[in-house]
Amino acid sequence: MSSWRPGCSIEVLRKRAELLHQVRLFFRERGVLEVETPSISRYPTIDLHLESLTVELGVNAQTRYLISSPEYHMKRLLCADSGSIFQVCKAFRQDEMGQRHNPEFTMLEWYRVDWDHWGLMAETEALLQELLGCEKADRLSYTDAFLNYSHQDPFRLTTSSFRKCCEDNALSPPDYLIKAGGAKDERLNFLMGVLIEPNLGLERPVFIYDYPASQANLSRINQKNKLLSERFELFFRGMELGNGFHELADADEQASRFEKENRLRAEGGKTPLPVDRDFLDGLASGLPDCAGIAIGFDRIVMLALDKTSISEVTPFLWDRA
């Protein structure tokens, strides 16, 4: 049969290469250093909802992990005074497969030293305009996004208002979310994914900022309002493109967030993961004030070429790999 053939045309690959070239030029002109960090790491990303693929190098060798993002390594470079850096690399995630997902995908990640997340949003906007020829981006708070598209205040969501919202919008949430005592962030993530995201950035890109502190991940907590984090996400045409942080620099807080993730993993029946000591030691020695963002490059290509599926912009997707 023809399964040896690429799943997308060579013309698509030409355009893809052109976009990649533009990305490199963009950062070169801005004095951001391109770096390469490992794909195979001694430590996995510690996240309740991310599963790293493992690599076995030998019978007695310690299990290693394919990176789900280059974040820990890039931050170790920042701690070593690299200054602003960017990277285009492959990232890997177990069980993520669908119209917009492939277990192996291309990530564009960069960090700006002495910048906060607002500055980084502006630069991301400039990059998008250059790559996609789109308008300037909107900026909408997480709360307003919820109020606009689900008529729910995310900070006041209750079991009954969640149920009602699902009913009103003909959503069919899994049982564990409907039960009383269901985790609030799980409900918010569900509404974000199925109800709100499809409405975001239909005309022009939009940054959603002020994520709840409970979803801070690796971002700082807002010092004026401790309910909020300095995390943002980027959406365009109903699709999530990227996630950015004003980066958490406090090693102790980072360590306790890892502990919390591992505790939640254990509660959810998942294996707790080994903590990356080198990353924490790097933070302890001093991460400069910086903001960083990771963008799914395949999705940029999809938008640039008006394609709706990652299979249309990737020569050898999972099935053909």
Where does this chain bind other proteins (CB under 8 A)? Answer: 47-49, 95-101, 170-174, 176, 185-186, 188-190, 192-194, 197, 215, 217, 233, 240, 243
Q: Please name which of 261, 205, 191 lies closest in space to residue 238, comparing C-alpha atoms.
A: 205
Q: Which is nearer to other proteins, 20 or 48 (CB)?
A: 48
Pick between residue 20 and residue 264 the one whose CB is nearest to other proteins.
264
**Cα torsion angle, 58, 59, 60, 61, sign:** positive
Taking CB atoms within 8 Å and a gap of at least 24, the contacts of 52-59 are 52/92, 52/93, 52/94, 52/273, 53/92, 53/93, 53/94, 53/103
Smallest distance, other proteins to C-beta of residue 189, A: 3
Q: Looking at beta carbons only, is 240 or 276 nearer to other proteins?
A: 240
**Least distance between other proteins and beta carbon 243 (Å):** 6
Q: How near is the Cβ of 176 to other proteins at its closest, in Å?
A: 7
Closer to other proteins by CB, 104 or 185: give it: 185
Give the C-alpha distances (Å, rounded to integers) separating 169 from 150, 151, 166, 180, 195: 8, 11, 5, 20, 8
47, 251 in Cβ contact below 8 A? no
Concatenated DSSP letters of 124-158? HHHHHHHHH---PPEEEEHHHHHHHHH---GGG--
Comparing CB distances to other proteins, the nearer of 196 and 249 is 196
- Give me the least distance between CB of 100 and other proteins, in Å please: 8
- 216 vs 287, beta carbon nearer other proteins: 216
Sheet containing 206-209, strands listed edge to edge, beginning at the edge strand earlier in sequence: 33-34, 85-92, 104-113, 290-296, 239-246, 231-236, 206-209, 138-141
According to DSSP, residue 192 is labeled I
Pick the closer one to other proteins by CB: 191 or 249: 191
How far is CA 9 from each of CA 81, 86, 297, rounded to the nearest angstrom? 42, 28, 18
From CA 26, how far away is CA 19, in angstroms rounded? 10
Q: Quote the least distance from Cβ 140 to other proteins, whole Å.
A: 15
Minimum Å gap between C-beta 236 and other proteins is 14
When the beta carbons of 8 and 294 are compared against other proteins, the nearer one is 294
| CB 1, min distance to other proteins, A | 19
Q: How far is the CB of 5 from other proteins (least distance, A)?
A: 21
Q: How far apart are CA 156 and CA 168, in angstroms?
A: 18
Using a 10 angstrom Cβ sphere, with 0-12 exposed, 13-18 middle and 19 or more buried, the burial of residue 233 is: buried
